[in-house]
Structure 1
Amino acid sequence: MSPDIVGLALLLLGVLLLVSKLVRVKWKLMQRLYLPGSIIGGAIALLFGPDLFGRVMNALENVEGDFYGFGGVLRAIGTDRFAEGGLFGTGVMQVWSALPGLLISVVFAGLFLGKPLPRFRQAVSLAGPNLAFGITVASGQYVVGLLLALFVLVPLFNVPAMSGALIEIGFLGGHGTAAGLGPTFDQVGWAAGKDLSVGMATVGLLSGIIVGIILINWGARRGKTSAISADSRGTAREQAGLIEKENRGPGAVMTVHPSSMDPLTLHFGLIAVAVLIGQVILMGLQALERALWADTIEIMAFVPLFPLAMIGGIVLQMVIDRFDKNHVVDERTVERVQGLSLDLLIISAMATLSLQAIAENLVPFLLLAVSGIAWCLFAFLVLAPRIMPSHWFERAIAEFGQSLGVTATGMVLMRVVDPEMKTPAYSAFGYKQLIFEPFFGGGLITAAAIPLIASPQIGAWGFLGMMAATMAVALFIGLMGRRRAMAAGGAAQREAAGTGAS
């Protein structure tokens, strides 16, 4: 593939991002849904891809009659290239299909860079309820999906049992994880799994935002929110995704002088080091597996790079905390690199989504999607009030958004329900991520799920048992923690009342 094609593919992604931003600014529906521009751009790219635009052009070329000369023009041009690559061409589509697997490692490598790592006890104390709830929902997505797969999808639709993992991979993992696991699906012999999981990620993201906004309006009307009322609403500019001039602040901090090195260059280098550390860890684990137990069961051979890149970021941040006396690592700059990578990743993943694979498995896909959404709604409405000790709505809405549409969706919903950060939801959610992310939502468990289900030693029933046990333990800890917190609060109130009376 020529460098010109690679450059053109990247330039087209930039154009799509600008077009998507214009759509967000001008289209009121997109504003009310708080739909990210990358999703809008991905939908536009999918519309003009081979599965839609290509099929339409091919149908028009073959239509009987000249169709006012249009059919003849198309026959003269030749629409084979439209059928293979849509409006953008096969070369561009090939570049886009490779990008998600590369960019997801950049996103995960920067998750903890620039963030001081708190003490373990401090993080657990504040984020314990969020962590218990998050693990309950995440492991429950596997339980719901695998039960549906084993009792309905496998016997009735002849899809593999590993389809039960698509809910967690697509919903919690998101587009990056779904696309990044493409090689894993290929290795276990179910290539359609990538397209179905990317489609599941799209459904989850849209559902998370739409249903989340509905829940916020319901909670505000019912008095379940503590930071906003039923009349609270973002300004027109906020809904359009713009920031008022008087409220604009720096998106990054200049921590090194540009005469020596541009700050963005420095932070890109740090992310590169984190990814390379992850690559070394992965290679070491694969070599250890080959030497010790590969003849019995293989897991690390199927694990992608990105969860280990996140571990590499944690290792690098520990070194930075120890030796960086000048504080040259800026969290906001890292987030800008992550944001660019994630936007490009989502557009390229959606643009190369195979609608044919979804159409061929439409009923199983819909059953999994509806079951996953129903489970997340049940967890939010029934379990969250019984697990969260205070400000349950603000804390749980972030978890609900993440459970359907990755961390960014949770942050968007939390921003809507608590715009001035009056509740402990932000800190609890952030600290919870330090323990949660290495395992679920694209972490080690997500990466190992497909290989474990596919292995004869563990299989779907074994993995279902593991996740059911994990869900039961997390739910028990969450419920008991809430009860202890309420008991401690009641004792403190009685003590205060007794002191006041004396």
Structure 2
Amino acid sequence: MTPNRIGFSFLIIGAFLLAGKLIRTRTKWLQNLFLPSSIIGGFLALFLGPDVLGRLTSQFLNEASIFYNGLIPGFILDVWRPLSGLFINIIFAALLLAKPVPGIKKIWNNAGPQIVMAHTVAWGQYVVGLLLVLFVLTPVFGTDPLAGALIEIAFVGGHGTAAGLSDTFTLLGYPEGADLALGLATVGIFGGVVSGIAIINIGFRKGYAKPLDEKPTFSDEEKEQIAESYGYDIEQDVKHAKAIEPLAFHLSLIAVAILFGYIFQQALILLEAYTWGAWTDVYLFTYMPLFPLAMIGGIIVQMIFAKLNLRNYIDPNIVSMISGFALDVLLVSALATLSLDVIGDNIVPFLLISGSGIAWNLFAFLYLGPRMIPDHWFERGLGDFGQSTGMAATGLLLMKIADPDNRTPALEGFGYKQIMFEPFVGGGLVTSASLPLIYQFGPVTFLIITSVVTLFFLIFGLIKFKPERLPNKP
């Protein structure tokens, strides 16, 4: 592979991103689904690739033709395939790099019910997936037990996490899992937006949504936390190092965060090799991807700058732009190289997993939400439902539709919740470790672990946050 071909492959990604943007601006129903341009561009590339258009061109062109397998040459797809595993590290290194972490007490007072609810749903997705694998998918269809983790990886983690774990799926002997996870993530976005909007319409008619009489006032620190979490514009005094361009400076910060994560990864692999791994022949960190540790590296960089009183050199907007660019590249490359043959060969398990995941999320929102969230359960629960079905952006979208003026504390709690949620599930340490844990200890052991954790959060939430009465009507 020559440097010119690699560079040309990245240029083509830019072309598909622009095409996705143009299609989105001219297609009303895509706008109504709030699909990002990168996902539209990725599916356009998939359509023009070997699995769709390539099936037609291969009937008319000679195998020596560059367009034998569609309009995207094979060397471009070869460059795109490993990109998801690389760019996911940038996304997670930037995730908490520019976010000052408030005190635990403040987070808990603002978002305690949402934290518990979100963990109940996420850990419960493992329980649902593993039960489905043990009693249906593996006995009937011979599905790999690793499929038990697909709901959490795809629904809560989204396309980025699904694509980022492709190397882990391959390393553990289940490469088709990455394609299934990407397909499930797409189903999750569609299902989350469509069902969420339907729920909002029904909820308003039944009077579940109860906005406050007056819009609450947030402190400057709370506004900053929400703004940095979700990219709202915010005025702040950001300094830039004069001897280096701001973009290069922030790229360097992210690079150092990834290097910290890599050092941690290698240290853990080495420690495992000479301790419990050698004693028990059980290895976990060998199969653990880099990106959750890169997230920890980002926290360390942020803490170092705060300790040196240099935190105002880190611009959240630039960090967000770098992360957004990496996510766009990841989505286009991952979707373009998605294997439709894999989904077609596993269509029944794929549909069963999709249906079970969506059913669990609906049950959790409609039944557990009113019983675990004492105030404004509808608006608060919508955020968890959207995130657990699609991604954090879906949850944010549904909350903004139900509460456009932020008259409830739902958005504020959602922002604080992420600090106690994302480092663990939805792409965090537990998500990345779930595949090695199932591989090493088996699905039954991991089912027991996830069941215990789910029950803990469920019982704690029902007892601690149970409202005096179920808010059926305002």
Counterpart of 2:34, as a letter, is Y
Is the aligned partner of 1:130 residue 2:114?
yes
Q: 2-side partners of 1:358 and 1:19: how far apart? A: 26
Change in CA separation of 1:120 and 1:250 when aligned onto 2, cut-off 3 Å: closer
User: Residue 38 of structure 1 aligns to which amino acid in structure 2?
Assistant: S
- Cα offset, 1:142, TM superposition: 0.6
Give per-residue Cα distances to partners, 1:223-281, cap 9 Å, x unaligned: 322459xxxxxxxxxxxxxxxxxxxx968978345853322222211111111111111
User: What is the SS of the residue equivalent to 2:333?
Assistant: helix
Q: Is this contact kept in 1: 2:237–2:312, CA < 8 A?
A: no
Q: Which residue of 2 aligns with 1:94?
A: 78
Counterpart AA for 2:403: D
Pick closer, same or farther for the CA change 1:250–1:381 going to 2, 3 Å.
closer
Secondary structure of 2:277 counterpart: coil
1:447-462 correspondence to structure 2 within 5 Å? 447-455=432-440, 458-462=441-445
1:475 aligns with 2:451: no
Alpha-carbon distance change, 326 to 256 in structure 1, aligned in 2, over 3 angstroms: same
- Partner Cα separation in structure 2 for residue 253 and residue 92 of structure 1: 42
Query: Secondary structure, in 3 states, of the residue corresponding to 1:50?
Result: coil
1:37 alignment partner in structure 2: 37
SS at match of 1:91: helix
Of the structure 1 ranges 21-30 and 351-360, higher mean CA displacement relative to structure 2 is found in 21-30
Q: Structure 1 residue aligned with 2:355, among 357, 370, 374?
A: 370
Structure 1 segment 262-411 matched on structure 2, within 5 A: 262-295=245-278, 296=280, 297-325=282-310, 327-411=312-396
**Contact 1:93–1:352 at 8 Å: present in 2 too?**
yes
| Corresponding position of 2:154 | 170
Q: Distance in 2 between matches of 1:326 and 1:155?
A: 54
Query: Residue type of the partner of 1:294?
Result: G
Shift of 1:360: 1.0
Distance in 2 (CA, whole Å) between partners of 1:104 and 1:41 is 18
Distance 2:95 2:175 in 1: 29
Structure showing greater radius of gyration is 1
Q: Against the structure 1 CA distance between its residues 421 and 79, is the aligned structure 2 distance closer, same or farther, given a 3 Å change threshold?
A: farther
Measured in 2, the distance between the counterparts of 1:227 and 1:15 equals 44
Do the aligned partners of 2:277 and 2:283 also contact (CA within 8 Å) in 1? Answer: yes
How much does 1:370 deviate?
0.7
Structure 1: state its 5+ residue gaps.
Answer: 62-73, 229-248, 488-502
- 1:197 is aligned to 181
> Whole-Å Cα distance in 1 between the matches of residues 57 and 211 of structure 2?
52
In structure 2, what residue type is equivalent to 1:26?
R
Considering only aligned residues, what root-mean-square deviation do their CA atoms show, in Å? 2.2
Contact kept in structure 1, 2:42 and 2:332, CA below 8 Å: yes
2:218 paired with 1:212: no
Contact conserved, 1:253 with 1:333, CA < 8 A, in 2?
A: no
The answer to which of 463-472 and 441-450 deviates more is 441-450
Query: Aligned partner of 1:439: which letter?
Result: F
Which whole-Å CA distance do the structure 2 matches of 1:50 and 1:476 have between them? Answer: 50
C-alpha distance in 2 between matches for 1:101 and 1:301: 16
Map of 1:464 onto structure 2: 447
Instruction: Indicate which of 150, 171, 183 corresponds to 2:134.
Output: 150
Structure 2: tracts of 5 or more residues without a match: 213-231, 470-474
Q: How big is each residue's C-alpha offset from its partner over 1:189-211, in whole Å with a ceiling of 9 and x where there is no partner? A: 11111111111111112212222
Q: Is the 8 A contact 1:162 1:454 kept in 2?
A: yes
- Look up the SS of the partner of 2:293 in the other structure: helix
- Alpha-carbon spacing, 1:254–1:11, altered in 2? closer, same or farther (3 Å): farther
Describe the superposition over 1:263-306 as per-residue Cα deviations: whole angstroms up to 9, x where unpaired.
22222111111111111111111111111011321100000000
Which residue does 1:260 correspond to in 2?
Answer: 243
Aligned residue runs from structure 1 range 72-91, under 5 A = 74-75=61-62, 78=63, 81-82=66-67, 84=69, 86-91=70-75
Report the Cα offset of residue 486 of structure 1: 4.5
Q: For 1:253 and 1:16, locate their aligned partners in 2 and report how far apart those are by CA, in whole Å.
A: 34
Q: 2:11 maps to what in 1?
A: 11
**TM-score in terms of structure 1 length:** 0.85
CA distance in 2 between counterparts of 1:250 and 1:380 reads: 31
| Identity value in percent | 46
- CA-CA distance at 1:469 after TM superposition: 0.5
Task: Give SS of 2:54's match.
Answer: helix
- Retained in 2: the 8 A contact 1:256–1:262? no
Change in Cα spacing, 1:258 to 1:473, as seen in structure 2 (3 Å) is closer
Q: Which moved more, 1:416-425 or 1:43-52?
A: 416-425
Report if aligned partners of 1:57, 1:79 keep a CA contact under 8 Å in 2.
no
Distance in 1 of aligned mates of 2:114 and 2:142: 37
Residue 419 of structure 1: how far off its partner (Å): 2.6
Choose the corresponding residue for 1:426, options 411, 415, 418.
411
Cross-structure match for 2:125: 141
Q: Is the 8 A contact 1:395 1:425 kept in 2?
A: yes
Deviations 1:148-191 (A, max 9, x none): 11101111101111111111111111112111111211121111
* Gap change, CA 1:258 and 1:121, over 3 Å in 2: closer
| Residues paired across the two proteins, number | 450
Aligned 8 A contact 1:101 1:176 in 2: no
Matches within 5 A, 1:49-60: 49-59=49-59
Q: Is the 8 A contact 1:252 1:330 kept in 2?
A: no
Aligned to 2:167: 183
Change (3 A) 1:182 1:374: same
C-alpha contact (below 8 Å) 2:93/2:291 kept by paired residues = yes
- What amino acid is the match of 1:47? F
Contact 1:251 1:333 in 2 (8 A): no
SS at match of 1:382: helix
How has the CA–CA distance of structure 1 residues 331 and 418 changed in structure 2, closer, same or farther, with 3 Å as cutoff?
farther
- Measure how far apart 1:422 and its partner are: 2.4
Partners of 1:261 and 1:418 in 2: how far apart? Answer: 42
